[in-house]
Amino acid sequence: MAYSKEVMDHFMNPRNVGKIDGASGVGEVGNPVCGDIMHIEIDVKDDIIQDIKFQTFGCAAAIATSSMVTEMVKGKTLEEAEKVTNKSVAEALGGLPPVKMHCSNLAADALHEAIKNFRAGGESPISIARDCCHDQPDSRCVKIEK
Amino acid sequence: MKSVYMDHSATTPVDPEVLQTMMPYYTEIYGNSSSVHAQGQMAAQAVEQAREQVAALINASPSEIVFTAGGTEADNQAIITYMTHKRQKKGRHIITSAIEHHAVLHTCEFLEKKGFELTVLPVNSYGLVEPDTLKAAIRPDTALVTIMHANNEIGTIQDIKTLAHISHEAGAAFHTDAVQSVGKIPLDVKELGIDMLSASAHKLYGPKGVGCLYVKKGTAVGSYLLGGAHERNLRAGTVNVPGVVGFGKAAELAEQRMPQTTEHLNHLAKVLTEGIINNIPDSRLTGHPVHRLPGSVSVVFDYVEGESILLMLDHYGIMASSGSACTSGSLDPSHVLLAIGLPHETAHGSLRLTLGKDNTIEDVNYVLEKLPPIIEKLRMMSPLGK
Ligand SMILES: Cc1ncc(COP(=O)(O)O)c(C=O)c1O
């Protein structure tokens, strides 16, 4: 498994780890059964992401994409943040090994859930449990009943 | 940077003495061991000496050893050629266990797809096949029982003698994948009652791509690779003479060194295991606490993922392995960890440190210094647990 320098940097020195007291939006995707779960909290003022923090359970790719997405959108407007995709996060990291593209690359989804949660008033954040295939159906995947 | 290799169940370095023994067989005695001329005969002699050395390690007769290109091939040959042999008239049912190496599991599944019947036995939480479970699964048409001696991930050593005895009482042959145990713990094929056994040189400080299948005299095993009459018609293909010579030497050294090596590894593994379990909260040993391979330390940590642990350890020069999905190359964590009853999320947080003869107490202390902060750092990042 060859990771890019950027991935290793964000993995070894992750940016913006933690939680935000009184966060205005919270998003969580993934599933511990599959081996990755990403939790993102944002603090929004005047439609701008003033602060963003993450907590991630998962492999190096999961941690690095989470760290990268927080850097990409900190100080940006919600509209700009909504345009960030899992793919653009992976590109910003100099790419991910192919098997990681759909297994551990969910950070933008977690961010979008946090924004959705903020727009809904920040009440009762939802955790989006997925099956382990994410968007890649595979006969070996573990289906999660919610 | 410091470099600490603790992945000896994956492979071992070739012992310098082994390499030295192999070297002349590349450039000086390079003959084909099937040739009648002097070069060929010298090579053939070396192969026969290696056969004696390997046979001695497991108390077999030299004529019962078939050299192969590794453990995987030996497993394939044993299972496929036994089940399809014309002298094998017992039936079409195979029994194996849920914690086998894929070389055995996938081979059994291949035969199942071809119309054979397969029963995969569960194991208990230590990874042991319980004798009663085997007894209950055996049928009149069970031809072969294949259960590994020591597990590569959790180190658990099976009670092979009892399992082989149960199989024989029912008229079934018994094969064991002993790739992880040969050269590491005493193994006597006669005392255990084994009909077929797979071994691999690179797990005992020999070269990669060399192994053997022990076939008890009279057992219905055939050639798996079709071709020439090498290895008494049981393995076609020009013999890998230097490799086989290395395997022989490695077997001889393993036997000589076993008492001291075992004592050394048991000591290091005890310090390492206790250091981890006592200093890292929510960590547990996997596999059997006593019946396990010397130097095999397998643990799970809650709330963190195995590949992340491995990469952080690698950053400090510590080389280990894990059964997490990310490292298995599939979407599921290791089938062995699931078979011993660990939930998926726990199995993702597994770490295997397998010590070798050259590891020192300094290596162990270095790991014990680096590992706890790594787990703590990953747990700080993790949304689970707190
Ligand atoms: C238990 C077990 N069986 C079989 C094998 C395969 O052996 P080889 O690598 O020689 O093909 C291995 C090691 O990889 C193993 O640990």
pLDDT at B291: 98
Domain boundary residue among B253, B278, B305?
B253
* Domain region containing B280: 4-12+258-376
| B212 assigned to active site | no
- pLDDT on residue B269: 98
Output the average pLDDT for chain B. 96
Out of A3, A55, A99, closest to residue B381 by CB: A55
Q: What's the domain range around A27?
A: 5-145
Number of domains in chain A: 1
Domain assignment of residue B144, yes or no = yes
Mean pLDDT over B225-251 rounds to 96
Residue of B nearest to A127 (CA): B383
Boundary residue ending a domain (B253, B270, B291): B253
Write down the pLDDT at residue A132.
59
Q: How far is CA B18 from CA A69, B59, B177, B297, B325, in A?
A: 52, 21, 24, 27, 36
ipTM rounded to 2 decimals: 0.88
Q: For ligand 1, what atom is nearest to the CA of residue B209?
A: 10
Residue A32's pLDDT is 81
Same domain, B249 and B262: no
- Reported confidence tier of residue B386, pLDDT bands at 50, 70, 90: low
Q: Which of A17, A63, A140 sits opposite B332 (nearest CB)?
A: A140
pLDDT in tens, B20-66: 999 999 999 999 999 999 999 999 999 999 999 999 999 999 999 99
Measure B139 CA to ligand 1 centroid, in angstroms. 29
pLDDT digits (tens, 9 = 90+) for B136-161: 999 999 999 999 999 999 999 999 99
Cα angle at B23 between B21 and B29, to 5 degrees?
A: 100
Q: Give the residue-averaged pLDDT of B221-236.
A: 94
Q: Are residues B308 and B203 in the same domain?
A: no
Number of domains within chain B: 2
Gap from CA of B209 to ligand 1 centroid (Å)? 10
A-B CB pairs within 8 A amount to 81
For residues B131 and B197, membership in a common domain is answered with yes
Instruction: Check CB contact of A67 with chain B, cutoff 8 Å.
Output: no
Distances (CA, A) of A6 to A13, A15, A53, B317: 10, 12, 19, 20
CB contact under 8 A, A39 and B344: no
Quick one: pLDDT at residue B56? 98
- Domain shared by B98 and B239, yes or no: yes
Q: What is the pLDDT of residue A137?
A: 41
Query: Of B253, B283, B300, which closes a domain?
Result: B253
CA gyration radius, chain B = 21
Pull the structure tokens for residue B354.
């397998």
Q: What is the CATH number of the domain that holds B192?
A: 3.40.640.10
This prediction's pTM: 0.94
B195 within domain boundaries: yes
Confidence tier at B382 by pLDDT (50, 70, 90): very high
B237 and B355 share one domain:
no
* CATH number of the structural domain spanning residue A99: 3.90.1010.10
The pLDDT tens digits of the residues spanning B253-300 come to: 999 999 999 999 999 999 999 999 999 999 999 999 999 999 999 999
Residue B181 lies inside a defined structural domain of this protein: yes
- 3-state SS class at B310: helix
Question: Does B62 reside within a domain?
Answer: yes
- List, chain by chain if needed, residues with CB within 6 Å of any ligand 1 atom: B 70-72, 101, 103, 148, 152, 177, 179-180, 200, 211
Give me the residues of chain A with pLDDT under 70, please.
1, 102-103, 124-146
- The answer to whether residues B35 and B128 belong to one domain is yes
Catalytic residue among B185, B326, B338, B378: B326
Q: Does B219 share its domain with B262?
A: no
| Torsion region of B337: left, alpha or beta (phi above 0 gives left; psi -120 to 50 gives alpha) | alpha
